[in-house]
Amino acid sequence: MLIAAARIITASGARSGANAVLAPGYVSWVDGRVATVGAGPPPSKPDLRLPDGVLVPGLVDLQVNGYFGVELAATDRADWLMVAHRLAETGTTAFMPTFITSPLDDLAEALRRAAGLYAKLADGSQGARVLGVHAEGPFISPRRPGAHNPEWIVDPDPVAVGMLLEAGSGHLRMVTMAPELDGALAAVKQFTAAGVLVSVGHSDATAQQVSAAARGGASMVTHLFNAQRPMHHRDPGVVGQALADSRLTSSLIADLHHVSGQVAAIAFAAAPGRICLITDAAACAGMPPGRYVLGGEPIDLAEGDGTPPVRSDGTIAGSALRMDSAVANLVATGVGLAEAVAAATRIPADQIGRTDLGRIAPGAAADLAWLSDNLRTQATWVGGRQLYGQHLG
Using alpha carbons only, give the angle 45, 46, 51 rounded to the nearest 5 degrees: 120
Q: How many CA atoms lie within 13 A of 59 on its CB side?
A: 34
State yes or no: is 280 an active-site residue: yes
- Rounded CA separation 9/11 (Å): 6
- Rounded CA separation 130/118 (Å): 6
Helix axes 207-216, 184-193, angle to 10 degrees: 30
The greatest distance separating any two alpha carbons of the chain, rounded to the nearest whole angstrom, comes to 63
Length of the chain: 393
Alpha helices in the chain (DSSP H): 77-86, 104-121, 158-167, 184-193, 207-216, 237-244, 261-270, 323-333, 337-343, 346-351
3-class SS of residue 193: helix
Catalytic site residue from 280, 324, 350, 367: 280
Using alpha carbons only, give the angle 114, 148, 270 rounded to the nearest 5 degrees: 95
Using alpha carbons only, give the angle 285, 220, 254 rounded to the nearest 5 degrees: 35
- Residue 366, phi then psi, degrees to nearest 5: -80, 65
- Residue 342, phi then psi, degrees to nearest 5: -60, -35
Question: Which distant-in-sequence residues (6+ apart) come within 8 Å of 393 by Cβ?
Answer: 1, 3, 47, 48
Q: So which residues are the catalytic ones?
A: 280
